[in-house]
Structure 1
Amino acid sequence: MASRSQLRLIFMQFSSITFGMAAIYSLYIINKSGGLIYYKDYGSSGRMDTNDSLRVASLWHSMHAISQQLSPVSGCTGIELLQADTFDLHCFQSLTGTKFFVVCEPGTQHMESLLKFSYELYTDYVLKNPFYEMEMPIRCELFDINLAQAVQKDRVAFLGR
């Protein structure tokens, strides 16, 4: 896994690439049991209600688990990229089984780096929060603020907090 300084360097190298609000539709975090613990909509044209976002998370968790079992490749960790005509879905699964996935415009690049950085923010602001209970929905203002900066590609978020 890349270190924090390596991830910052990656984002600095791609300063001409924007992860603007239009490119990323939504970001989800799913616990190891398949429960949606975080959902953020970044201005997609049709906002989903809570039930729809729960269905998407549950469906993705199921597809991810099935793909792990059906893969002919040993040690497969599941689907990392799903490409469709109208969107791409990039997924990162941590060693603990927590899944981070982002739905974005087709062809949006470097989402893997964004997901890994989101995981770092999760470990820094959510898991180290003494009031957070594992596997429960995330309600952490510092996580929200730093994640919004990352999605907007605010360089301050990558050059040091």
Structure 2
Amino acid sequence: MAHEMYSFVKVNPVLCDCLLNKSEQNEISKLKWDDLVSRCLDQLQPFYQVTFAGHEPVVRKGNIDPIDITIAQRSSNKKVTMIKNLELYGLDPQSIASILQQRVQASATVTTLPGAKDRVQVQIQGNQINHLAKLLLEDYKIQRKYIQGLEKAPKIGRKK
């Protein structure tokens, strides 16, 4: 019987404020450990940390947005590839634009994202997702789960 008293935690004022809602505050004086832990976990907010060699880790609230790759149709039926959120992964959009420009021999520009003063997007002529995938996955070792839009790559093979 003695061990049962250790399976509960007495709710002090701090725990009361953090873990109990208004209707429970006068009713509950102790919580089971697993209940206490799950209530604590429910109160946590998501955050992420990105670490670059030689720098202090960057910690931000919320979930990290993926590198976002989209294809847009321009007038005269030309396609352009647009890449957002490179900065979140410590990648310099200007150098990504330069590397892609050299690899695919197409014009690339870096423009400010509408409504975001400190964020930019890279825009390059044509559907360049295959080149981009190789650059991000192989050269920069970004995990696939952090890149959105790779499925829009042009299919390689002869047209029937």
- TM-score between both structures, scaled by the size of structure 2: 0.27
Greater strand proportion: 2
Higher normalized contact order (CA 8 Å, seq sep 6+, divided by chain length)? 1
Larger radius of gyration: 2
